[in-house]
Structure 1
Amino acid sequence: MTPDLMEQGSERLQHKKEVDENKGSSGGRNAGYSRIHEPGALDLAHGRILYLEEVSVSFDGFRAINKLSLDIAPGELRCIIGPNGAGKTTMMDIITGKTRPDAGQVFFGSTIDLLRHSEAEIAGLGIGRKFQKPTVFEALTVFENLELALKSPRGVASALWHRLSGVQRDRLGEVLTLIQLSDQWQRPAGLLSHGQKQWLEIGMLLMQEPKLLLLDEPVAGMTDQETERTAELFLSLKGKHSLIVVEHDMSFIARISEIVTVLCEGAVLAQGTLAQVQADERVIEVYLGR
């Protein structure tokens, strides 16, 4: 194990100890629960927005995730790479509540135990996920897609009587500019290019005001120009949001990455800068090749 991973492991153990102490001193597992559910509140006292500790899950005897420990800082853009079957998608399934682990802890901020929440609740807490294939409403315009994604009540009555406020219109305009679709706002989503559909779906996630974004192979199938624009978009989001990007395109990873985590057989194999992990013999052997 490298010194960096040893230091990170020490930090995780200290975090775990402090979380456990908070539980014990405040009356159990729901300690701080009312505080964290104040609108917009997220306890980042430990300097981590996401924290996984010793997480494991098996499917029909196959261990897809094997004592995985990982933590993400607020505003960080973390890239995750690794061979097919390394556990990357299962990791995101666990974070978003789609899959329940057999063991381990998953915390959002210092106090929100994600294992106590459903998928819908986790999305409401501020975790957005984008799958590889874009999912947009193709018959609706770009603007209408973003409008539907607004973070606001969406019952039958509100759908019938809802009118955009000035603040909401400003936000829609900001997102349209950010995803570079301002000149396409009246265009049906079904007529967009593959890359533009990807950006629109990212824009729809941004309308939900997420604190953490999980992005699965976002540049797969894009042209070189679209890939470059996507890199610019992600770099502009960094700091305002935390991002976990799972991707195989190494030139794209080189463009956006600071810290790269390599998963293999459901656990962290290596972590560091892209240059560091590319030089790791274990990573070369199982993923990059010679």
Structure 2
Amino acid sequence: MSWPAPLEEMRHRDRVFPHLRPKAKVDVSKNVLLYVEGVSVSFDGFKALNNLNLYINEGELRCLIGANGAGKTTMMDVITGKTPCDEGTVYFGQSIDLLKRSEPEIAQLGIGRKFQKPTVFEAQSVFANLELALKASKGIWYSLRASLSGPQRDRIDEILALINLSEAREQLAGSLSHGQKQWLEIGMLLVSDPRLLFLDEPVAGMTAQETERTAELLNTLAGDHTVVVVEHDMEFVRSIARTVTVLHQGSVLAEGTMDEVQNHPEVIEVYLGSDE
């Protein structure tokens, strides 16, 4: 199999999609997987995060909402090692300090992130995209030469079934619908068996049927994985929400069930009642 993608792009995939490998033991004895405490980030005087406190439990499906500029993307950037913070602490479990880890190291710990726009190898098959994601942390030359083991093929087959793309396994990724590309990228994260998944607007641009299927997928993932969904589509959030966190001006404005958030006076004023 040949991989015509540029080497630099493949090295990027090495960083983003770690291989299935033994991960550091995460202490979740208090049932909290992620601790974000007192985190602030400023850009040229603008406070993107302002003393942010956020706690994500092991195995939960959490929805994060907030108007543009609320701090959602900056928060994910800090947690995944993309952006340093001015102050505060971020822990994975009770003992792993994420602020002392690099972006690749954080990915290898089992924290995956899907960005808004799906980025797949469009000239390769669906199966080949998952194969490359599975092997990525072995290094680029390993990825070019090594053959899949039986368990690795079984893992890819499991993911194909989970993301509803088994019948499209030999189809070029570029010919998939927008929603299918979103599912494929989620699958490219899942082959590395992440403990914590951040999904940024996973249903943007999807059809109603694709959105419904995505809701089913995320509900299936919760429990085995901890899933944090950042989303603007309020109907979709209502369909999957268990706990909703509302960010505003870099801080948590409200948190609770969807009904509790919907009826929160400040949320109604600054977000749900706005044109965002």
> TM-score, structure 1 length as denominator?
0.85
For the pair 1:182 / 2:166, whether they are aligned, the reply is yes
CA deviation digits over 1:168-220, x for unaligned, max 9?
11111000000000000000000000000000000000011110000111101
**Structure 2: distance between partners of 1:83 and 1:160:** 43
For the pair 1:99 / 2:99, whether they are aligned, the reply is no
The answer (yes or no) to whether the contact 2:135–2:142 under 8 Å persists in 1 is: no
The answer (yes or no) to whether the contact 1:151–1:209 under 8 Å persists in 2 is: no
Give the letter for the 1:69 counterpart: N
Give the letter for the 1:61 counterpart: G
The answer (yes or no) to whether the contact 2:23–2:110 under 8 Å persists in 1 is: no
For the pair 1:197 / 2:181, whether they are aligned, the reply is yes
Give the letter for the 1:203 counterpart: G
Q: CA deviation at 1:46?
A: 2.2
The answer (yes or no) to whether the contact 1:141–1:185 under 8 Å persists in 2 is: yes
CA deviation digits over 1:64-121, x for unaligned, max 9?
1000000101101100001111000000000001111100000011100000011111
Matches within 5 A, 1:65-214: 65-151=49-135, 153-155=137-139, 157-214=141-198
Residue of structure 2 in register with 1:22 after alignment: none
Residue of structure 2 in register with 1:46 after alignment: 30
> Identity of counterpart residues, as a percentage?
63
**Structure 1: distance between partners of 2:253 and 2:98:** 24
**Structure 2: distance between partners of 1:186 and 1:208:** 21
SS state at 1:49 partner: strand
Give the letter for the 2:42 counterpart: S
SS state at 1:276 partner: helix
SS state at 2:113 partner: strand
Residue ranges of structure 2 left out of the alignment (5+ in a row): 1-20
Runs of 4+ in 1 over 3 A off after TM superposition: 37-40
> Of 46, 55, 66, which aligns to 2:39?
55
User: Residues 85, 159 of structure 1: CA spacing in aligned structure 2 closer, same or farther, 3 A cutoff?
Assistant: closer
**Structure 2: distance between partners of 1:159 and 1:38:** 19
The answer (yes or no) to whether the contact 2:63–2:243 under 8 Å persists in 1 is: yes
Give the letter for the 2:254 counterpart: A
> Of 232, 236, 241, which aligns to 1:257?
241
User: Residues 79, 39 of structure 1: CA spacing in aligned structure 2 closer, same or farther, 3 A cutoff?
Assistant: closer
Residue of structure 2 in register with 1:286 after alignment: 270
Give the letter for the 2:117 counterpart: K
The answer (yes or no) to whether the contact 1:77–1:244 under 8 Å persists in 2 is: yes
Give the letter for the 2:147 counterpart: R
The answer (yes or no) to whether the contact 1:73–1:242 under 8 Å persists in 2 is: yes
Residue of structure 2 in register with 1:223 after alignment: 207
The answer (yes or no) to whether the contact 2:136–2:143 under 8 Å persists in 1 is: no
Q: CA deviation at 1:159?
A: 3.1
The answer (yes or no) to whether the contact 2:122–2:174 under 8 Å persists in 1 is: yes
Equivalenced residue count is 254
User: Residues 89, 166 of structure 1: CA spacing in aligned structure 2 closer, same or farther, 3 A cutoff?
Assistant: same
Q: CA deviation at 1:160?
A: 4.5
> Of 259, 267, 272, which aligns to 2:251?
267
User: Residues 283, 99 of structure 1: CA spacing in aligned structure 2 closer, same or farther, 3 A cutoff?
Assistant: same
Give the letter for the 2:51 counterpart: K
SS state at 2:223 partner: coil
**Structure 2: distance between partners of 1:127 and 1:91:** 14
**Structure 2: distance between partners of 1:40 and 1:52:** 19
Give the letter for the 1:91 counterpart: M
**Structure 2: distance between partners of 1:254 and 1:264:** 19
Q: CA deviation at 1:164?
A: 1.3
Residue of structure 1 in register with 2:8 after alignment: none
